[in-house]
Amino acid sequence: MLITGTVVADAETVIEDGAVRVSRSRIDAVGERASLVDRYPDDERRTADIVAPGLVGAHVHSVQSLGRGIADDAALLEWLFDHVLPMEAAMDADATRTAAELGYLECIASGTTTVLDHLTVDHSAAAFEAARELGIRGRLGKVLMDADSPDGLEQNAETALAETESLIREYHGAADGRLRYAVTPRFALSCTEACLRGCRELADRYDGVRIHTHASENRDEIAAVERATGMRNVHWLDEVGLTGPDVTLAHCVHTDETEREVLAETDTVVTHCPSSNMKLASGVAPIADYLDRGITVALGNDGPPCNNTLDPFTEMRQASLLGKVDAHDPTRLPAATVFRMATEAGARAAGFDRIGALREGSRADVIGLATDAARATPVHDPVSHLVYAAHGDDVTLTVIDGEVRYADGEHVGVDAAAIRERARRHAERVVPSA
């Protein structure tokens, strides 16, 4: 298959009249359109105005999709404990699978081809099956919560770790490697020391398994961790083994100098969720400082209840603009830097190699966008357009692992309307305000 258009191969490489050749699950060639058309005259052809790497949602909560809009205008801990966690506790396996399907539909239609997905305590296998069926690339993980958690979600550490290990054995490397596993404690406040240390021990037993958790999102959370442990959040996570190159920490909004040194020295990955942090008034993460220290920073939408959209283009725009405001410097977090956060840095956060750029030998995760809207006319700089002007609904083509999963407004191989209808029915049951 040849996909032609203005090719944004990575944050620095644009081919104005280009093409990407996909063969099975790999990219065979990237170059000038005329040359590749001559080389592969019999290939199926698809055309988009802009052709780009699939974007990476490096921190999402797909199974919270049933709760979009249920807890607007609330602070983080109230939002979580009074609204979102009770919804998760009420979800059975069918609701969990439908919620994950709904989240993945939104991701795929808006250009996200890979997710690092923080699931929930129960029925995580249902989300893995949803990811397998819809074709998204993902690193998913069951949530562990063995302390100070609502009824229906708290498990003892031994049970939680045993269920996690069972899921690793079943799903890590499934779907020809498209699905992988992250050990996923909710955050420090909901896990005992034994549970957190057990997460590190479990991840170390399996090659390629990562760790994914929240950290330092909110000042109240940080104060509570310090009261409980005598340490600031990042220091506590470092103490129990939850830092390092195989760890992705979502948020990291409030960190001091010593914590930032730990993140840099341990090569821990940070995922920035600007829309969520703004909506929950958590604060402004020091992203420019992280990047200056060499810390890998990716981008995530977080969950639908604290963002209300899984559109990755919205997140790129918010990240850049918020960074400029925070620094009082319009040169900070330029478009190319933010695009790299949403692609190649996201690949690192999610623990997949050969994604995040359109290069020969890379996995064939490719998106196409239209530029026929007034806000897309003219396109002087394609990378600038993708970060500052594009929307998820500009996406006309999504290819994952060489398979067309979305084209011209339609999901391929799944009944999206039926998923949405099931989601409405489940929401009426599990969300008190629905």
Alpha carbon distance 175, 119 (integer Å): 19
SS3 content of the chain, % helix, strand, coil (to 5): 45, 25, 35
In order of 45, 214, 319, 341, the CA distances from 120 in angstroms are 41, 13, 27, 26
Taking the alpha carbons at both ends of the chain, their separation in whole angstroms is 44
Cβ–Cβ under 8 Å, residues 57 and 300: yes
DSSP per-residue letters across 209-267: -EEEEEES--HHHHHHHHHHHSS-HHHHHHHTT--STTEEEEE--S--HHHHHHHHHHT
Alpha carbon distance 25, 107 (integer Å): 20
- Indicate the pLDDT class of residue 433, thresholds 50, 70 and 90: low
**Mean predicted lDDT score pLDDT of the chain:** 96
Nearest CA to 194 out of 142, 143, 240, 149 is that of: 240
Please give the model's pTM, rounded to 2 decimal places.
0.97
**Token reading at 242:** 């939850």
Exposure of 53 in the CB half-sphere (CA atoms within 13 A): 31
Alpha carbon distance 302, 171 (integer Å): 23
Class of domain 2-53+363-411: mainly beta
Listed range (82-86, 190-194, 319-323) with the worst mean pLDDT: 82-86
Span 205-211, average pLDDT? 98
Cβ–Cβ under 8 Å, residues 173 and 139: no
Alpha carbon distance 46, 54 (integer Å): 16
Q: How much is the pLDDT for 150?
A: 75
Span 115-129, average pLDDT? 97
Q: What percent of the chain has pLDDT over 90?
A: 93
Sign of CA dihedral 385, 390, 394, 398: positive
pLDDT reading at 138 higher than 80: yes
Q: What does the domain layout of the chain look like in residue ranges? A: 2-53+363-411, 55-350
Cβ–Cβ under 8 Å, residues 316 and 339: yes
- Indicate the pLDDT class of residue 118, thresholds 50, 70 and 90: very high
pLDDT reading at 269 higher than 70: yes
The helix (run of H) or strand (run of E) holding residue 357 is none
pLDDT reading at 26 higher than 90: yes
Query: Which DSSP category does 316 fall into?
Result: H
pLDDT reading at 321 higher than 80: yes
Span 237-241, average pLDDT? 98
Alpha carbon distance 177, 183 (integer Å): 17
Q: Please list, in sequence order, all residues whose beta carbon lies within 8 angstroms of the beta carbon of residue 38, skipping any fewer than 6 positions away.
A: none
- Indicate the pLDDT class of residue 154, thresholds 50, 70 and 90: confident
Q: How much is the pLDDT for 219?
A: 94
Look up residue 287 and give its amino acid: I
In 33-171, the DSSP E strands lie at 45-53, 55-60, 112-118, 137-141, 143-144
Span 141-163, average pLDDT? 91
55-350 belongs to CATH 3.60.15.10: no
- Indicate the pLDDT class of residue 79, thresholds 50, 70 and 90: confident
Alpha carbon distance 4, 343 (integer Å): 20
pLDDT reading at 432 higher than 70: no
Exposure of 228 in the CB half-sphere (CA atoms within 13 A): 18
- Indicate the pLDDT class of residue 434, thresholds 50, 70 and 90: very low
